[in-house]
Amino acid sequence: MNQPKKERFKTSVGGQALMEGIMMRGPKQMCCAVRKPDGTIETKLDPTPAHGVWMKIPLVRGAIAMIESMIVGYRYMMYSAQVSMGDDYDPAEDALLACAAVLGGLLAILLFTVLPTFLVGGVNRLLPLGRWGKVVLEAVLKVAIFLTYMVGISKMKEIHRVFEYHGAEHKTIACYEAGDELTVENVRKYTRFHPRCGTSFLILVVIVSVFLYSVLPWGSIGLRVVCKLLLLPLVMGISYELLKWCGRSDNIATRIIRQPGIWVQHLTVFEPDDSMIEVAIAAVTPVLPEDPEDGRW
């Protein structure tokens, strides 16, 4: 794959892969573009939510951004399912998808927050590990569970296709940041990996939680789990600030911090076909600021 030109600037434009579509978010507007069954592309424009002073407060803005991303992402995922399926769409599926989203969130908390702690507690009863032995084992289990989960869902046909749209989103943003005209030919040559990816945020959450939770007491497994849940907003806040720093700066420290996210993106970001790139261009074009300086990250 050809390497892109050196980026001209860092932009605040971001996005999310959907079912047969992509949502792009600019400073003032969000656009959802979805491929319909007849092959045409349907777009939907909405204003970008504003949070005023809250999004200027370090650490606090990270938790707000995460919660908002989940809510907005769910809404656009439902919309993309309806548009992409056309006449085959069953409104009853909304309820099923809503339940799946709730259960998925609970499962994520169980897998990445609760399960490693209980597993370490079980091992410790059989083979006393000591404080730091438990910390290290919990960290290893957390990363292993996270990577296994990512590998597992990437093998699902529908999710794999969403991850291809994920690649189209990244390549299109990289093309825009490099100052190239947004055409399929230009976008195709850019890398599918991006330092501000949601996958990078998730792996940062895992890594930050390993360090932050290492100071929590092990006397009671239940108390440890409660403390971890209470500290989750802080973990998200720290991870967001790190991701923001890595998106703005390019030095040895930021390259080290963002490298795990780039590695994990091999599991969640795949090469798109030209039709997916067309959808990405259709989604990003309406949200781009007239003056690129207005969209600097």
Per-residue pLDDT tens digits of the chain, which is 297 residues long: 444 444 455 667 889 999 999 999 988 899 999 999 999 999 999 998 876 677 778 888 888 888 888 888 888 988 898 898 887 766 665 555 666 555 566 667 677 778 888 888 888 888 888 878 888 898 899 889 888 888 888 888 888 999 999 999 999 999 998 889 999 999 999 999 998 888 888 889 889 988 898 888 887 888 888 888 889 889 989 999 998 888 788 889 999 998 999 999 999 999 999 999 999 999 999 999 876 555 555
Inter-residue contact 168 to 280 (CB < 8 Å)? yes
Tell me how far CA of residue 180 lies from CA of 86, 164, 296, in angstroms. Answer: 34, 22, 16
Inter-residue contact 45 to 282 (CB < 8 Å)? no
The Cα–Cα gap between 258 and 248 comes to 12
Tokens 């990078």 label which residue? 200
pTM of the model: 0.83
Inter-residue contact 195 to 173 (CB < 8 Å)? no
Helix/strand/coil for 242? helix
Inter-residue contact 17 to 163 (CB < 8 Å)? yes
- As a whole number of Å, the end-to-end CA separation of the chain is 27
pLDDT in tens, 2-60: 444 444 556 678 899 999 999 999 888 999 999 999 999 999 999 988 766 777 788 88
